[in-house]
Amino acid sequence: MTRFSPRLTAAIVILGGMTIVAGTLMPWMTLFGGLHTYRGIIGLYGRLIAAGGIAAVIIGILIAGRYNRTLRWSVGALGGAIFIFAAVLLRNLLMLVGNFRGDPMMIAAPGWGLYVCLAGSALLCGSFIVTADAGS
């Protein structure tokens, strides 16, 4: 059995948190063929997801300093909550873009931001796979 250090778990958590924050800074929706973008950070939901990403980075730093099973469980639950929240937002965004497709002047399209947030939250949930034994 391969043993991993808590630093690997912390690195995955920090990377996931930074990916989530980066996803909120990217465009979530574009209009007029990409001329006008709506970034996730401008709205309340994007700010909540960014706050979750910042919290994940802080928890990752705490895990790197001193491994704690409660922190690992909390970051997994945080990642699951962000994943579900971002998935619901993505579903609503796709429904909204589908409504705008009938208008030839809008040319609405989804951006990459929510997909990046989903990938980052999947990294947070995947931090459960990398286990760190107390003896390592």
| pLDDT tens digits along 73-103 | 899 999 999 999 999 999 999 998 877 766 6
131 found inside a domain: no
59 found inside a domain: yes
Residue type, 91: R
135 found inside a domain: no
Show the domain range for 109.
6-126
* Cα radius of gyration (the chain): 17
31 found inside a domain: yes
37 found inside a domain: yes
60 found inside a domain: yes
pLDDT of residue 1: 43
pLDDT of residue 101: 66
1 found inside a domain: no
**8 A C-beta contact, residue 108 and residue 37:** no
Q: Edge-to-edge strand order for the sheet containing 27-31?
A: 36-39, 27-31, 109-110
Mean pLDDT of 41-50: 95
**Domains in the chain, number:** 1
pTM for this prediction: 0.88
134 found inside a domain: no
pLDDT of residue 3: 57
pLDDT of residue 72: 84
**8 A C-beta contact, residue 56 and residue 101:** no
Range name among 51-55, 88-92, 131-135 with the lowest pLDDT average? 131-135
